[in-house]
Homo-oligomer: A and B are copies of this chain.
């Protein structure tokens, strides 16, 4: 990844230049993730964050304009990580059917809920900001477009507004159901997760013509 990822700029007041400060900013984000898991977003205080990161409060504001921006930056880091994972998976694996690719995308999202601290609370911007990546479109819409791109590149789907629309709907519904699954069960209610996948597959199946024919 030689190109600068979106999360390294994001909502930062000033970009850390020296190695120590880069590491520090990461520590702050890590602390933020931990604390969101421990006390929740509401109870997160800047003092607590600074203590946990082993940093003076002033240092936090050296790089972040305000509290919200810290959480935004964390969300962006997670968003990047997801797209990264997805990119790798599509590059390595070759899918027999388009729905295997969709299933993989869902699986990666589920995995992040289990593995990434704070993710089950923040997701892709729930609490803080649904317009981190683009002023016009929701984060999920962007995700859907990226997904569309991957499907076009790796499975020969026909790019176009109808594919984007269908994926936008699918991503939004899947997102909601997966969140539900993790609210019902810390490890993700298996019944709900299975149903989510089934629902998405059947929905997209009805749009399979849209996917394989040019609009």
Residues on A lying within 8 angstroms of B by beta carbon are 127, 130, 138, 140, 165, 168-169, 172-173, 175-177, 180, 183, 191-192, 195-196, 199, 202-203, 206
Contact = CB atoms under 8 A, between A and B. Distances in A.
A173 to B, nearest CB: 4
B180 A172 contact: yes
B172 A177 contact: yes
B203 A199 contact: yes
Nearest to A207: B195
Q: How many copies does the complex hold?
A: 2
A130 B40 CA distance: 14
Given A169-B177, A172-B176, 18 more contacts: A138-B180, A138-B183, A140-B180, A165-B191, A165-B195, A168-B180, A169-B180, A169-B195, A169-B196, A172-B177, A172-B180, A173-B173, A173-B176, A173-B199, A199-B199, A199-B203, A202-B202, A202-B203
20 contacts: A127-B127, A138-B180, A138-B183, A165-B191, A165-B195, A168-B180, A169-B177, A169-B180, A169-B195, A169-B199, A172-B176, A173-B173, A173-B177, A173-B199, A176-B176, A199-B199, A199-B203, A202-B202, A202-B203, A202-B206
A80 B169 CA distance: 29
Contacts of A203: 199, 202-203
A137 to B, nearest CB: 8
Nearest to A140: B180
Contacts of A127: 127
Nearest to A180: B172
A130 B184 CA distance: 12
A206 B192 CA distance: 16
Contacts of A130: 183
The 4 A-B residue pairs whose C-beta atoms are closest, nearest first, are A176-B176, A173-B173, A172-B180, A172-B176
